[in-house]
Amino acid sequence: MRSNLLLVLFLCGLQTAEALQNLQLPKVFQMFQSKEAGVIQTDQTTSRVDLEKELIRSISNTEYGKSASLSNQIEVLNRVSQLESEFPAPPLQNILEDGSIDGTWYLQYTAPSEIEADGIDGDKLKSSWEVKDAEENITTKRFEAKGSVSAGGIDVDVSNKPPKQIFDLSQNSVYNEVVLPKAFVRVGGSFRLSENNEKRAIVSFNQCTIDLNFIKLDLGFLFGVIGFFKGTTENGWLETTYLSDNVRIGRGNKGSMFVLTRDEGSVAP
């Protein structure tokens, strides 16, 4: 019980969009794949729907990114980058106005936006995303874990059930929910539009509810304490780089890349 409580406390210190979204995501497009892993060639007539199907296929059976091989990660990043470049998400203001992001999304894949490993052929990796116009007092230290949530230096495995991210536009709030074997964690707060990036939402978490069997804890005050010492209550940010009725791709302040879907069962774990 003590270890579960400590793990939950670490979860509350989690930074924003990463929080469950610090979980990992990614790949999409119809194409012909060469024999060299990670190299993707696509027919110019490939439709957006086909690209999404290929992304879903490529992130399936990876335990939400945890067990993705190096070649698999490269392929996913390439697919994600193609969707982002060919069908970029509109400014977040437009997305909020039409309500297309509202409601529940399931985090299906999480991974770093950049891959650094010996022997990687730069010609194979087409991802070019990088942190630009960082926000003051919000860390951009890289997040390296796959298929997990990084909390206070501890990686919390979430490979047995996809976390939820819930946008409640009526309250201008976002919530992250993680179900662990012996605990349920819900972290949430308000968000605002960034002045530095039109696709970025800056999040201020102020709620943290923990349910450990029959013990329920409200640890939202911890965010206030952290904010006092940081000089800001803003915990992180998330950029929506691709959005359709079924798939959302995001990039976090720590360089994380996320793939989320509306349908919980659309990706095979």
Q: What is the pLDDT of residues 148-205, one digit of tens each?
A: 554 333 345 565 689 999 999 999 999 999 888 888 889 999 999 999 999 999 999 8
Compute the radius of gyration of the chain from its Cα atoms: 18
The count of C-alpha atoms lying within 13 angstroms of the C-alpha of 152, restricted to the half-sphere facing its C-beta, is 9
Which among 150, 113, 157, 109 is positioned nearest to 131, based on CA atoms?
113
Alpha-helical runs (H) found in 161-242: 221-230
Domains identified in the chain and CATH numbers = 2-266 (2.40.128.280)
Beta-carbon contacts of 244 under 8 Å, excluding residues fewer than 6 positions away, are: 48, 52, 87
pLDDT surpassing 80 at residue 211 = yes
pLDDT surpassing 60 at residue 17 = no
> In this prediction, what percent of the chain has a pLDDT beyond 70?
71
Which among 216, 264, 223, 259 is positioned nearest to 55, based on CA atoms?
259
Place of tokens 């730069």: 122
Number of residues that this document lists for the chain: 269
Name beta bridge partners: 157: 148
Query: Lowest-confidence range among 31-45, 125-139, 190-204, 213-227?
Result: 31-45
Determine whether 57 is exposed, middle or buried from the number of CB atoms within 10 Å of its CB (0-12, 13-18, 19+). Answer: middle
CA distance 179 to 8: 11
pLDDT at 21: 41
Q: Answer whether 0.95 is exceeded by the pTM.
A: no
Q: What is the DSSP annotation of 93-158?
A: HHHHHHTTT-EEEEEEEEEESS---TT--TTT--------SPPTT---PPP--SSEEEETTEEEE-
pLDDT at 50: 96
113 φ/ψ angles, rounded to the nearest 5 degrees: -75, -15
pLDDT surpassing 70 at residue 264 = yes
Greater confidence (194 vs 138) lies with 194
State mean pLDDT over 249-267: 93
Most confident residue range from 2-6, 156-160, 225-229? 225-229
